[in-house]
Every structure is written in C-alpha cells, then in structure tokens.
C-alpha cells in the first residue's frame, strides 16, 4: 500500500513518517520511505520549482511508491505535494492509498522554523515558496488528518496507526 503524507514545509511529515516506519517494521512489515527532499536530490535532480517541475517530482514519487506497493512493500511518501489534482492522479493509480494531511498554520510554522525559510519567503527573499508565494491546496477528504500545531508527535502517530488498523491495513499490536 501507499501512505502519502502531505502538508506544508516543516509541518512534521517526515518526523511522523519515520516514526510510522518503525511501528510498521516492528509489526513485521517491509517499508520504504520516499522523502521529498531526498528524492529531489537523487531521482529528481535538476527539477526546479515551477508547477510543471513540482508535478513531475510528485509523479516520480508516486510511480516508485506504486512499484514498491505492488511488490508487498509499504511505500511511504513524505512530500509537500502542493497540488490536489496531482495527488488525486497518484491516488487513482494505486489500489491501496491512504492520504495523511498534516495541518499547521503559517504562523506556527514560521515560529518553529529554525532555518528561517518562512521569514525569508515572507520578506520576498525566497520565491515560489509553497504556502506563501506559491499555492498549497489542502486535501478535501484525507483518510487521516493530523494537526501538528495541537497534537504531540506521539498523539499524531497513535491517531495514524489507529486509523490504519481501522482501515484493515495494519493488524493491531499484540500485547503480552
């Protein structure tokens, strides 16, 4: 299956995705994570941040996720993936797909941004920054909605795992 994390930069996608990887591995699952930043450095090197390039990057991540999923691997994508239409396109090519939206306000993201990217984007130093000078289209009906502004990482992870169990993708943990 594919678990697709989406949300603004710094919302917590990779943090929660990495925690989920450990939960799934502890439950005997094969898991691979495709992080947007890592994919951009390797699989999508040379792409810029135009809408077309962003869409190409997301399609590449979706393609690899589909290859992994159809071979029995839990494929986890952690990428901003700002455009709803491309996320929906990826969903349509996967038989088992769970969209996880990690919501967080621009104000909170700016406050917790150690690299200062939001401040630079807000001042105009960084162009085409998703959520500031470029659009981010929130999912309309994600299977899982996490709020990194109001939930702890542990609460978000527990909520996500419970939902995956509820949907039948993950068996409940065996307790001794």
The Cβ of residue 98 has, within 10 Å, a number of other Cβ atoms equal to 20
Is 81 in the active site?
Answer: yes
Under 8 Å between Cβ of 129 and 121: yes
Partners of residue 75 on adjacent β-strands:
2, 32
Task: List all residues 6 or more positions away from 152 whose beta carbon is below 8 Å from its beta carbon.
Answer: none
The residue annotated as part of the active site, out of 9, 44, 78, 81, is: 81
Q: What is the arrangement of strands in the sheet containing 97-103, beginning at the earlier edge strand?
A: 31-35, 74-78, 2-6, 97-103, 144-147
Q: Among all residues, which ones are annotated catalytic?
A: 81
């Amino acid at each position: 299956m594919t678990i697709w994390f989406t949300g603004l930069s710094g919302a917590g996608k990779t943090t929660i995705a990495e925690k989920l990887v450990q939960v799934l591995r502890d439950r005997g699952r094969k898991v691979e994570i495709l992080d947007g930043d890592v994919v951009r450095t390797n699989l999508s090197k040379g792409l810029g941040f135009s809408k077309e390039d962003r869409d190409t990057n997301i399609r590449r991540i979706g393609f690899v996720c589909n290859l992994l999923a159809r071979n029995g691997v839990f494929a986890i994508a952690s990428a901003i993936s700002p455009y709803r239409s491309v996320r929906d396109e990826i969903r349509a090519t996967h038989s088992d797909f769970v969209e996880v939206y990690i919501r967080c306000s621009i104000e909170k993201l700016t406050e917790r941004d150690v690299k200062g990217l939001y401040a630079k984007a807000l001042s105009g130093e960084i162009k085409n920054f998703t959520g500031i000078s470029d659009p981010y289209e929130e999912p309309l009906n994600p299977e899982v909605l996490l709020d990194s502004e109001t939930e702890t990482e542990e609460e978000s992870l527990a909520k996500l795992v419970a939902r995956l169990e509820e949907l039948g993708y993950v068996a409940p943990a065996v307790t001794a």
